[in-house]
């Protein structure tokens, strides 16, 4: 089986991860940090607004079951790409909307997808999503991985 990789930032990585985990063809996900100025940042450092990292999701997927374009459709559907450095109550540069492409094909597909969304007038405000080359992806602390799934299990065992 061929496995491809994609990286998206669309606000708090917990909700982004939960949405992508539901997609058939997604093999695994990891939350982490990307786009900042130094190596191996911690959550506390990223939240300080001094590192430049975004909270992001790495998606490993089977392209025979889900295409990169379909993942882009999920990306646009799960957040508001018109709010700069904000998603819902979460404010800060770490919550920016961005697509981190890993090769020229992903860049082309991301640019085309963004153009289609803009042309559709689905959003009344301008889209602020950045499409940028992926830098090093730093895995977030273990307690952030599959956070919603872990939280729901804890809640179910305490009822």
Active site residues: 12
Tell me how far apart the alpha carbons of residues 55 and 97 are, in angstroms, rounded to a whole number.
Answer: 10
CA distance 134 to 136: 7
Q: Cα angle vertex 86, ends 82, 89, to 5°? A: 125
Place of tokens 């093999």: 27
Q: Measured between alpha carbons, how far is 150 from 104 in angstroms, rounded to an integer? A: 36
d(CA 125, CA 13): 23
DSSP state of 138: E
Of the candidates 48, 67, 57, the residue with the CA atom closest to the CA atom of residue 99: 57
Measuring CA to CA, which residue among 110, 108, 112, 109 is closest to residue 97?
110
């Amino acid at each position: 089986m061929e496995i491809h990789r994609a990286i998206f930032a669309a606000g708090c990585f917990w909700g982004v991860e939960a949405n992508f985990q539901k997609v058939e063809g997604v093999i695994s996900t990891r939350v982490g940090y990307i786009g900042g100025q130094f190596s191996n940042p911690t959550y506390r450092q990223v939240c300080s607004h001094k590192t430049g990292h975004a909270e992001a999701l790495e998606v490993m997927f089977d392209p025979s079951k889900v295409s990169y374009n379909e993942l882009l459709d999920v990306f646009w559907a799960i957040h508001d790409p018109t709010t700069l450095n904000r998603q819902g109550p979460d404010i800060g540069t770490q919550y920016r909307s961005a697509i981190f492409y890993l090769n020229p094909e992903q860049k082309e597909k991301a640019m085309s997808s963004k153009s289609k969304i803009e042309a559709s007038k689905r959003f009344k405000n301008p889209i602020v999503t950045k499409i940028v080359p992926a830098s090093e992806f730093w895995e977030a602390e273990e307690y952030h991985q599959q956070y919603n799934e872990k939280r729901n299990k804890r809640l179910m065992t305490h009822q």
